[in-house]
Amino acid sequence: MTRFFIKPEDMQPDFFVLTGENAKHAKVLRLKPGEEVLVCDGQGKECICTVSDVSPEQISLVVKKRQESETEALVKASVYMAFPKADKLEHVIQKATELGAYEIIAFPTSRCVSRPDEKSLVKKLERWQKIAASAAEQSGRGRVPQVLVLPSYKAALDRASQADLALLFYENEQSTTLKMALQSSPYKSVSILTGPEGGLEASEVSQAAAAGLKVCTLGKRILRCETAPLCALSAIMYDSGEF
């Protein structure tokens, strides 16, 4: 069933219309009156609707049934990734959305080569959010993960530590594995924090541990900065029963 995302405030009880990009997409699909579509508010609620009228500028829909999305993960997994170079963050946003991430957060560390300024971040955030929305639609999700940027490493640690299980992955950690961390206690929310291309400094790892994050290894091999968060997220989704 074709899926559309609209703003939560645009979800009406019985009848509403698709306009703008949604209407253009509906035209490409050549939707006709009587066909069923799924409309999501991007926050986990959705409606099964019937197309009632098709016009050049909008598609009119009649609501048949309202329901909670059945495709969202039970665990809320937040991906915290230090600013990487080039378009690596775009790749992580797309794939993390497909895998079921609740949100994706970018932040600076001492070894980050990429440090977007405030002006460029406005455009980047808009693009990143569109990538998340497109990936959510393609993968059949009922929620679009929010993409956020934090001003400092400390701010990332403070926020990440609020999850039931907060994890930081460090290539020099040798004793605590991800499996051990996941088995240490039950969790409904989890934070996954990874560093940039050059990794995290030892002092930053100590700072994370002091903030309450569990420092873990992802194995004997060193993973690229864009591979590590997706690897961890996949393992967490498996552990929580999503796979």
| Residue pLDDT, tens place only, 41-95 | 888 888 898 999 888 788 899 999 998 888 899 999 999 999 999 999 999 999 9
- If asked whether residues 59 and 84 sit together in one domain, one would say no
Are 84 and 183 contained in the same domain?
yes
The answer to whether residue 170 scores a pLDDT higher than 90 is: yes
For residues 191 and 78, is the Cβ–Cβ distance under 8 A? yes
Do residues 190 and 99 both lie within one domain? yes
203-220 average pLDDT score: 97
Last residue of a domain, one of 20, 35, 68: 68
In the chain, what percentage of residues exceed pLDDT 70? Answer: 100
Same domain, 16 and 102: no
Spatial CA neighbour of 237 closest among 68, 77, 71: 77
Overall pTM > 0.75: yes
Residue 131 structure tokens:
């990538």
Structural domain total, the chain: 2
Q: Are residues 60 and 178 in the same domain?
A: no
Q: Of 68, 86, 116, which residue constitutes the final position of a domain?
A: 68
Task: Tell me what pLDDT residue 119 has.
Answer: 85
Whether the per-residue pLDDT at 235 is higher than 90: the answer is yes
Domain around 162: 76-239
Average pLDDT, the chain: 93
- CATH code for the domain of 22: 2.40.240.20
Residues 45 and 81 in one domain: no
Q: What is the pLDDT of residue 100?
A: 97
pLDDT at 221: 93
Of 50, 68, 86, which residue constitutes the final position of a domain?
68
Indicate whether 158 and 203 sit together in one domain: yes
Residue 166: predicted pLDDT: 98
Q: Identify the CA nearest to 98 among candidates 79, 123, 122.
A: 79
Give CA–CA dist 176/189, Å, rounded.
20
Would you state the pLDDT for residue 95? 98
Q: Do 17 and 134 share a domain, yes or no? A: no
Mean pLDDT for 169-189 is 94
Q: What is the pLDDT of residues 155-165, one digit of tens each?
A: 999 999 999 99
Sign of CA dihedral 129, 44, 141, 30: negative
What are the angstrom distances between the C-alpha of 100 and each of 5, 39, 52, 195? Answer: 17, 19, 32, 21
Q: Is the pLDDT of residue 15 over 90?
A: no
Q: Kindly state whether residues 62 and 88 are assigned to the same domain.
A: no
Query: Are 51 and 124 part of one and the same domain?
Result: no
Angle between helices 153-160 and 202-210 (to 10 degrees): 30
CATH number reported for the structural domain that contains residue 106 in this entry: 3.40.1280.10
By C-alpha distance, which of 75, 77, 26, 70 is closest to 52? 26
| Two tokens, residue 161 | 């530590």
Non-local CB neighbours of 187 within 8 Å, separated by 6+ positions: 75, 163, 164, 165
Do the beta carbons of residue 132 and residue 147 sit within 8 Å? yes
| Nearest residue to 173 (alpha-carbon basis) of 208, 215, 207, 136 | 215
Question: Is residue 15 domain-shared with residue 116, that is, in the same domain?
Answer: no
Question: Same domain for 141 and 217?
Answer: yes
